[in-house]
A and B are shown apart, each in its own frame.
Chain A
Amino acid sequence: MAEPVDSKEKQTKIMEIISTEILETDSDFDENTDLYSAGLDSMATMQLVIRIEQNFGVKLPANKITKENFSSVAALARII
C-alpha cells in the first residue's frame, strides 16, 4: 500500500535532519536504513527527539521513544 503524501514529506524532513545534524550518512541512506547500524546512540537519540519536536511542533511522549520507533526514518514518521 502506498504511503500518504504527508508521510513522505515527514520522511524527507526527518532524513534531512538526520543527514545534516545527527549522522554521517551514505548516499544509499533512505527511509528504511537501520539507524542504529548507521550510528544512532543515546546522545544522538536525544538530539534527534528534540530536533523532531522543534521542526514538527509536536511533543513525543516517552512511551513512543522506543527502540522500534527509532529504528528507521519510516518508523519514526509513523509516530509523528
Chain B
Amino acid sequence: MAIWSKRLAGLTGADCFILALDRMMKRRRQHGLAGQTHLLLDSIPDLTSLREGATRLCAEHPLLDAYVQRNPLTLEPSWRIEHNRKSNLPLKLWREHGSAQHPELDASIVGSAHELSEKILNGLLEEKSGLRNLRLDLILLRTGGSQLLLTWNHLLFDGKGAEFLASALISATMGQSKLPAKSSRIAVAKPLSLCQQIQKTRPVLDRFFNLVSNKYQSLSGPRADAGSLHYKLLQFTQEETESIHERATNLSGLYTVSFYIACAARAHRMAFLSRGQDPSHYVVSIPVQIRRKGGQNDPFQNCVTILFFCLQKDELESLNTAVASAQRQFEEMTRSELGHAFSIVLNLMRRLPARPYMKFLESQFAGEVTSFFHSSTGNFALISEKLCGAKVLDAYHVPSVSAPPGSGLFFSEYAGRITATFSWRERSASESEVDLILNQLRKDLIQNPSEVIG
C-alpha cells in the first residue's frame, strides 16, 4: 500500500461482515465477494457519452478506487485512497461471436455474454481493466442489442446500492454530477453507550443459541475450497410475474418476503433429497435494507442488517406451511427489533480482524455459515429507462456466493418482470441438482401452491 493515502470513510458493521466473508473466500481461492448488475439494452448506447459518464463518475467518487486498511493501533477499518489513484474508469468493449461487426469499434470477441459475465466474476476486480471496486463491460449481442455489466466489489456496495450506482452512471452520462439529493450515507456513529449496546444484543444471542442447536447443512459443506462461480437465470414474463405476485399475496398477504424465502428453501431441499439427505432444518440469512425505501439514494456501503430464518423440513412439505412459518418468524423478529439488535452486534464487531471474525462465525454456525444465501431486492431502482440513447429492456443482479454455503437464490424485478438468479460454486451443486432446484422454484412460483415435495 502507498504511504501517502487519504481516509475517506469508515466501514459499516455490515461492510465488516462482508470483509470477513471476502477474506474467507480469498483464503479458499474463491476470488472474493463480487456482484454484477446487468442492464440489457435494445441497441448500442452512444459510446462517447457512456465513456464521458464513466470518467465523470470516477472523478466524483474516489471510493470507487479505494481500498480497506485498519488503523494499526485502534484496528478501526476505513476506506483509503492513494494520492495517485486512477482517474479514469475504462469501458471494455466485447462482441458476441456471430454478432454484427462494427469495424469502427474495437471490440474483443467472446462466445456469449453469459460466458464473459462468469469469467469476470471468477477473476479479480483489481485487474487493470477496471478500478478496485468497479469495472464496466459492454457486450454487443447477436440480437443487435447490447448488455452493460457493472461488476462491483461487495465490500463497497450492496444490491440496492448497485442499483443507485447504475442510476448515478446514467446521471453522469447526462452531465448531471453528484449523487441524488436524497443522499444519506450511513453513519458509523454509536448513539448508545457500550453497556446499552450490549444489553440490546440479547435478542440476537437468544436467536443464535436457538439456531445453532438445530441441524442444518449447506450444499457445499463446511470444508469447501476453490470452485468456479456459475449462475442461471429464470426470467419471467409480465403475465407470469403478475401470476407470481397474485400467488405471493394469496399466501403471504403483504409480507411477500416470506413467500420468496419459502420458495428458495423448498427449491434447495430438492437438491438435498436427490443426494439422499434430508436436513432437519434450513437456516437462511436475509439482508434487510436500513436505507429508507423509495427514491434514489447514496450507492455506497452495505446499508443492511440481517435477519436469520430457520425452517424445519416438515414445514417445507408444502408451500403453505413453509410460508406460514417464515411469516411468523418475520413478524416475531420485527417486533423484537432483531434487525436493529443485529446492527448493533455488527457494529460492535467492526474492529475484529477478518480472520478471527470468520472463525467466530464458523464456530457459531458449525462451519456452514448458512444453508444458502437469499435476497429479494424488489423493484430495480433505476433513475431512467434510457442509457445514452439505448432503452433499458431489463435489469437484474448476479451476486457471487461463497462456499460454504455454495449457493444462493436472488430475486429482482424490472418493468413488471421478475428475474430469479441462482448462483452456485462448482462442486457445491451438480448440473442435475441445479435443474431440480430451478424446476421446483418455477413450480412453486407459478403452479399449485399446495403441491407436496417429493
Q: Is the CB of A24 within 8 A of B297?
A: yes
B223 adjacent to chain A (CB < 8 Å): no
Q: Which residues of B contact A62 (CB under 8 A)?
A: 253
**Cβ-based interface call for B318 (8 A):** no
B182 interface residue, CB < 8 Å from A? yes
A24-59 vs B, Cβ < 8 Å mask (1 yes, 0 no): 111000000000001111111111001000000000
* B292 and A43 form a contact (CB under 8 A): no
The answer to whether residues A41 and B292 also contact, given A47-B334, A65-B253, A66-B254 and a CB cut-off of 8 A, is no
**Contact between B294 and A38 (Cβ–Cβ < 8 Å)?**
yes
Are B293 and A42 in contact (CB-based, < 8 A)?
no
Please classify how large the interface on chain A is, using the bins under 10, 10 to 19, 20 to 34, 35 or more.
20 to 34
Q: How many residues of B contact A (CB 8 A)?
A: 24
In angstroms, Cα B335 to Cα A53, docked, is: 10
Closest to B291 in A: A24
* Contact of B295 with A by CB under 8 A: yes
B254 with A24: CB separation less than 8 A: no
A46 touching B334, Cβ below 8 Å: yes
Contacts of B258 in A (CB 8 A): 42
Judge if B288 is at the interface, Cβ distance under 8 Å: yes
Fill in one digit per residue for B85-106: 1 if any A CB lies within 8 Å of its CB, else 0: 0000000000000000000000
CA of A65 to CA of B256, assembled, Å? 13
B180 to chain A, nearest CB (A): 10
Q: Is B378's CB within 8 Å of the partner chain A?
A: yes
Given contacts A24-B182, A50-B334, whether A43 and B254 have CB atoms under 8 Å apart is: no
A78 at the interface (CB under 8 A from B): no
Q: Which of A8-27 contact B (CB under 8 A)?
A: 21-26
Q: Does B257 contact A (CB under 8 A)?
A: yes
Contact A22:B292 (CB < 8 A) given known A41-B378, A46-B330, A46-B331: yes
**When the two chains form their complex, are residues B256 and A42 in contact, meaning their CB atoms are under 8 A apart?**
yes
Contacts of A65 in B (CB 8 A): 253-254
Q: 1/0 contact trace for B149-185 toward A, CB 8 Å? A: 0000000000000000000000000000000001010
- Give 1 or 0 for each of B290-303: 1 = CB within 8 Å of chain A CB: 01111101000000
Complex alpha-carbon distance, A24 and B295, angstroms:
6
Tell whether A24 pairs with B293 under 8 Å between CB atoms, given A46-B334, A50-B335.
Answer: yes
Using CB atoms, name the residue of chain A closest to B333.
Answer: A46
Pick the contact of B294: A25, A46, A50, A66 (CB < 8 A). Answer: A25
Cβ of B257 and Cβ of A43 under 8 Å apart? Answer: yes
State which residues 223-264 of B face A: CB under 8 Å. 249, 253-258
For the complex, what is the distance from the CA of A6 to the CA of B295, rounded to whole Å? 30
Q: Chain B residues near A67 (CB, 8 Å)?
A: 249, 254
Contact indicator A23/B334 (Cβ below 8 Å): no
Q: Which of A23, A26, A43, A70 has the most CB of B within 10 A?
A: A43
Chain A residues engaging chain B, CB cutoff 8 angstroms: 21-26, 38-47, 50, 62, 65-67, 70
Add 8 more A-B contacts to A42-B378, A43-B289 (CB < 8 A): A24-B297, A39-B293, A41-B378, A42-B255, A42-B256, A43-B293, A45-B255, A46-B331
Can you offer 10 A-B residue contacts whose CB atoms are under 8 A? A22-B292, A23-B292, A24-B294, A39-B295, A41-B378, A42-B255, A42-B378, A66-B253, A66-B254, A70-B254
- Interface residue ranges, B against A (CB under 8 Å): 182, 184, 249, 253-258, 288-289, 291-295, 297, 330-331, 334-335, 376, 378-379
Closest 10 CB pairs of A and B: A39-B294, A39-B293, A42-B257, A24-B295, A23-B294, A42-B256, A45-B254, A24-B294, A24-B292, A38-B294
